[in-house]
């Protein structure tokens, strides 16, 4: 039984859609909805539409009085400044003081963090990381993101941008990143985008070897299709996950030797590959660890429903609000 | 003016020598001394000699009543368990419950951590990291060690072994490590040992190019000699530091994208190379950072005198003692 019900609004801004929901302390989500992230050139218009959509949801749970605050996850979201800084996948350029803008519009404190950090907090409060003080969350989607928890706290770093593990270089001089121009970053191999590149490379190398993937046009080859082919026993598709796991495992070993986590939790579309990805990843990680770290780190998949996790993680920021966080955004 | 003077004993166990001193709250060291780390096969005999040596020092500052505790830095020292676990450079094999043994012998609480973590704490309290909440300490000596501070706390990780950045793989398939058997770890390139290997490789590649280093026998080539030759303008010796800085900078960029520190502080014998090492390291680090991290991270040399730093850092553990730390060692 709940007395004095209290809710948080969770908002997840993605490159395509922005999802929201109302969340209680137990992590139950209600009033889920979404709007397009790309319909408004002006961020003010975007926030106006978001407010118009969420207003009835607020009313339905008992009005603004029972809302403690708003948690927001967004690419390049900065916890300290409340700003989205130069997000390559969003149409709003430069530095956007979005936490302040939402605070003003909704008249409730809004806390921002990047999407992977939000997922880590969600996992800590409601998922596979409950009770853990040290873990690393790796999101394997279109890109590779990360959220790092050490000593029970999310690591934001000096300027709020800690945890960009997808951009660490794991193959110096390796694959060119389509966005950053850097070579050999983890994201170029372990993201859905990278997996497709790996598949096309292997298909091109082994022209005489048959594969279910050869029935698809160049544009039809997605990480999902590769996964489906691998499950059906396709040799080349299986090889793609072997290669991906091999490289991901090397990267994870490096991360383990940094912060010595109890677990690494994998999250995002790519984990649908299940054991096909997990087994080679674990094998490669263990092989690249010093003996003192071997056979200790749990390699887990997220326990959160992917559709809910982003909202849940963002909403969890509200219960986490700390005095030192800038909850009203930039200057 | 000090009222109720209080002191900490700092002990640094190294592969060759064990140094100690008595330290006050301001970081002033007195009664410095050292014993050999290799004279006693039995760890009990080693502790007996250490106690015999430190006893007069304790007396000279006012007896056991004014000693708050003992801080101990040692390779593979584990903060949580108070044990030295399988240290490859020490003669005592297996797991040594040294914090408990010293606590019992001295009748004062002893806190243990690894040597690089001790240096980081020393830097935080008395050196270049004063006032910082997020920094990484990299020790460049015979090996490469690290201590990571985030949110104002040392990162020990789940099992106390966090911060083994010297063993992260920075060149997959690269140089074989003489001790771990792993290939391409940072230590194989950026340690004094690695620098000597790099020098010998370049000397072998460019047999027709003269160098001051060719006047030395194979055994005489040390990182110190390479440094001296580089300062005199020797091309090959300079190239050695260029190569070392290039690889070190790549590794530092990865570390920055992990924890987004305010500064990286370099420490240890190798930093005597000064600008010869610092300039190429900084250039390479910046080149390998995402734009949001560029031109933000201070790359600094330690401000602590190398001879004192280990003792100072170990002693600082005493003022840091937290309830959750096991101060009396193992089970």
CATH 3.30.420.40: which residues of chain B?
7-120+309-320, 132-302
Confidence (pTM): 0.90
Per-residue pLDDT for A198 more than 60? yes
- Nearest partner of A29 among A122, A146, A138, judged by Cα: A122
DSSP code, position A23: E
Distance of CA B57 to the CA centre of its chain: 25
* Strand duo A144-150 + A135-140: pairing: antiparallel
Q: Is the pLDDT of residue A331 over 50?
A: no
List, for chain B, all residue ranges whose pLDDT scores fall below the cut of 50.
Answer: 1-3, 323-331
For residue B12, what are the β-bridge partners?
A: B19, B73
pLDDT at A3: 45
Report the alpha-carbon distance of residue B166 to residue B180 in Å, rounded. 11
Q: How many CB pairs under 8 A join A and B?
A: 135
Confidence of residue A4 (pLDDT cuts 50, 70, 90): low
> CB distance B158–A292 less than 8 Å?
no
The superfamily (CATH) of domain B132-302 is ATPase, nucleotide binding domain (3.30.420.40)
Distance from CA of A86 to the nearest CA of B (A): 8
Starting at the edge strand found earlier in the chain, the sheet holding B67-74 runs: B29-36, B17-23, B7-13, B67-74, B110-114
Tell me the percentage of chain A whose pLDDT exceeds 70: 95
Say if strands B135-140 and B263-267 run parallel, antiparallel, or are unpaired: parallel
What span, in angstroms and rounded, lies between the C-alpha atoms of A204 and A300?
33
Q: Which of B209, B308, B294, B221 is closest to B257 using CA atoms?
A: B294
What is residue B324's predicted lDDT score, i.e. its pLDDT? Answer: 43
B259/B286 Cα distance (integer angstroms): 16
CA dist B253 and B294 (Å) reads 9
What pLDDT score was predicted for residue B322?
53
What contacts A178, CB < 8 A, 6 or more positions away?
Answer: A188, A193
B85 touches chain A (CB under 8 A): yes
So what's the pLDDT on residue A222?
A: 96
Q: Which CATH architecture has domain B7-120+309-320?
A: 2-Layer Sandwich (3.30)
Residue B86: what pLDDT? 85
Q: What average pLDDT does this structure show over A84-104?
A: 91
pLDDT for A324:
43
The phi and psi torsions of A86 (rounded to 5 degrees) equal: 50, 50
* B93–chain A Cβ distance below 8 A for any pair: no
The separation between CA B23 and the C-alpha centre of its own chain, rounded to angstroms, equals 19
Q: Give the pLDDT score at A173.
A: 96
Q: Do B134 and A290 touch (CB under 8 A)?
A: no
The answer to whether residue A321 scores a pLDDT higher than 90 is no
- Spell out a b/e string for A290-313, using b for 16 or more CB atoms within 10 Å of the CB, else e: bebbeebbebbbbebeeebbbbbb
Average pLDDT, rounded, for chain A? 92
pLDDT band at A245 (very low <50, low <70, confident <90, very high): very high
Please indicate whether, in this complex, the C-beta atoms of A157 and B255 are within 8 angstroms of each other.
no
For the cut 80, the answer to whether the pLDDT of residue A154 exceeds it is yes
Q: Residue A320 corresponds to which tokens in the numbers above?
A: 């986490």
B261 touching chain A per CB within 8 A: yes
Model pLDDT for residues B286-298, shown as the tens digit of each residue: 999 999 899 999 9
């Amino acid at each position: 039984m709940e007395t004095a019900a209290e809710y948080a609004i969770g908002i997840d801004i993605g490159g395509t859609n922005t999802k929201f929901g109302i969340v209680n302390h137990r992590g139950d989500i209600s009033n889920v909805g979404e709007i397009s992230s790309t319909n408004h050139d002006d961020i003010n218009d975007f926030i106006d539409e978001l407010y118009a959509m969420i207003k009835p949801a607020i009313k339905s749970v008992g009005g603004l009085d029972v809302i403690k605050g708003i948690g927001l996850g967004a690419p390049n979201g900065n916890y300290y400044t409340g700003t989205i800084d130069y997000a390559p996948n969003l149409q709003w350029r430069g530095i956007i003081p979005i936490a302040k803008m939402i605070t003003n519009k909704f008249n409730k404190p809004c806390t921002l963090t990047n999407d992977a950090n939000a997922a880590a907090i969600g996992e800590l409060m409601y998922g596979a990381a409950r009770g853990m003080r040290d873990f690393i969350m790796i999101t394997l989607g279109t890109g590779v993101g990360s959220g790092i928890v050490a000593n029970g706290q999310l690591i934001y770093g000096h300027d709020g941008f800690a945890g960009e593990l997808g951009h660490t270089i794991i193959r110096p001089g390796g694959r060119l990143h389509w966005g950053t121009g850097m070579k050999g970053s983890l994201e170029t191999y372990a993201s859905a985008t990278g997996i497709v590149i790996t598949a096309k490379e292997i298909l091109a190398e082994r022209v005489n070897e048959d594969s279910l993937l050869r029935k698809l046009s160049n544009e039809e080859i997605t990480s999902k299709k590769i996964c489906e082919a691998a499950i059906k026993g396709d040799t080349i598709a299986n090889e793609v996950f072997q290669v991906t796991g091999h490289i991901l495992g090397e990267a994870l070993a490096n991360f383990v030797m940094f912060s010595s986590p109890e677990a690494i939790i994998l999250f995002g579309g790519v984990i649908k590959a299940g054991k096909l990805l997990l087994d080679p990843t674990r094998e490669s990680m263990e092989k690249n660890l010093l003996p003192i770290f071997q056979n200790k780190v749990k390699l887990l998949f997220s326990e959160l429903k992917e559709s809910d996790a982003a909202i849940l993680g963002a909403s969890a920021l509200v219960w986490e609000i700390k005095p030192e966080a800038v909850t009203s955004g930039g200057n």
